[in-house]
Copies of this chain bind each other. A is one copy, B any other.
């Protein structure tokens, strides 16, 4: 039977879940997977936490040097997060020839090529299933299940915190602030929620997923990013009436005109499979040139779901001798050889606060026409104190034209404010 010794760096939520799965299921894995996995040591500053989880004192390492010097450790699991010590530790582990399994999306999005170079030098494995969409095996699917395909597009709800917030705004009618507060109370959102609500977390994941999907390194700088802090419940409600559900999507497309990668609030049709993905659930929708549409759905975070992804990687690493290294078409360190679409095309939902008087709608629609933005639906709703709201959806058009149009509209006396600007993907 194959044996592998594991070290866990960091015993936070995910580290704890990983420790629990590995120790409780040792016999199960021997029987079902034919591998004997032992947790040889852990690295955790909070020794009490380690002891509470049941780690013997002799297995609590005091430094990364101690971990990598341990000849019984074959696989190092990094679940510290961030790009500080985590990067140092992962690099040291790889330099010692240890295979690394990580859940660290930020580290991977920012430093993948360097880490991979270190891994290759020592023929060490580098696994990161847990970095994207928690327990959903999306990385393995891209690497080992969709190889026959050129992936044309990827669309995903890849951040559970924002999906929880948007679900509550849509179904309970809560404001953004109310939904955020509840998400924080439940532990779905951090005290400082920026990484989630401003779309950074989704950007890291989209960078990793689209790099794998398109075989081209997509840096986070290439990803257009817009969070959900500017969303208000009126737009969600108007969208619903028009047949749309609002989601924070990570979207990647590999087209003849170049690669397009963006994270932003998006209206999807109510009958789109992504529309039914609620609360903290995640989902990734792929289109491959052979397989057509595929969607994977599941929990994107949490101790055991993310632990499940980590342990899946540990088992894969223990069983297979060949490690996956990404084979990007472009330079692994940059992306100068890749053409990106900057001025992408999209349909739009727009909401304007305007003066409630004759001729306004005609004037506004004239501005759209003059800028070659073709309208699909227009709706005027009476507001308060001489104001009206105009809700508009457009046909597909270039982003730049919409921006130009909105600037012109903003300059009109009759337009008080552009209150909602949301892309539609259908």
Contacts of A137 in B (CB 8 A): 141, 144-146
B308 touches A148 (CB 8 A): yes
The 3 closest A-B pairs by CB, nearest first: A137-B145, A148-B311, A135-B291
A residues bordering B, Cβ < 8 Å? 17, 21, 25, 28-29, 31-34, 129, 134-137, 140-141, 144-150, 215, 271, 273, 276, 281, 288-299, 302, 304-305, 307-312, 315-316, 319-322, 327, 329
| Distance of A285 Cα from B31 Cα, bound (Å) | 25
Given A148-B308, A321-B322, A135 and B273 contact (CB-CB distance below 8 Å): no
- Contact (Cβ within 8 A) A315 B148: yes
Whether A144 contacts B316 by the Cβ 8 Å rule is yes
Q: Are A292 and B271 in contact, CB atoms less than 8 angstroms apart?
A: no
| Cross-interface CB contact of A296 among B29, B288, B295, cutoff 8 Å | B295
Residues of B within 8 A of A21 (CB): 148, 290
A311 and B291 alpha carbons, distance in the complex (Å): 11
Task: Indicate if the CB atoms of A308 and B33 lie closer than 8 Å.
Answer: no
What are the residues of chain B within 8 A of A129 when measuring CB–CB? 145
A311 engages B290 (CB within 8 Å): yes
Contacts of A135 in B (CB 8 A): 288, 290-292, 294
Closest B residue to A30 using CB positions? B327
Q: Please measure, in the bound complex, the distance between the C-alpha atom of A327 and the C-alpha atom of B28, giving whole angstroms.
A: 11
Q: Which residues on B sit within 8 Å (CB–CB) of A148?
A: 21, 25, 307-312, 315
Whether the Cβ atoms of A308 and B320 lie closer than 8 Å is no
Q: Closest residue to A315 on the B side, CB-wise?
A: B147
A32: B residues at CB distance < 8 A: 147, 215, 327
Asked whether, in the complex, the Cβ of A290 is within 8 Å of the Cβ of B304, the reply is yes
Cβ of A31: which chain B residues have Cβ within 8 Å of it? 215, 327, 329
Least CB distance from A299 to B in Å reads 5
A291 in contact with B298 given A137-B141, A308-B146, A320-B322 (CB within 8 Å): yes
Other than A273-B273, A295-B295, give 11 A-B pairs with Cβ distance below 8 A: A25-B148, A34-B327, A134-B291, A144-B316, A145-B312, A276-B276, A281-B293, A290-B311, A291-B305, A294-B299, A320-B321
Identify A290's interface contact among B281, B305, B320, CB under 8 A. Answer: B305
User: Contact at B297–A295, with CB atoms within 8 Å?
Assistant: yes
Q: Is B294's CB under 8 angstroms from A297's CB?
A: yes
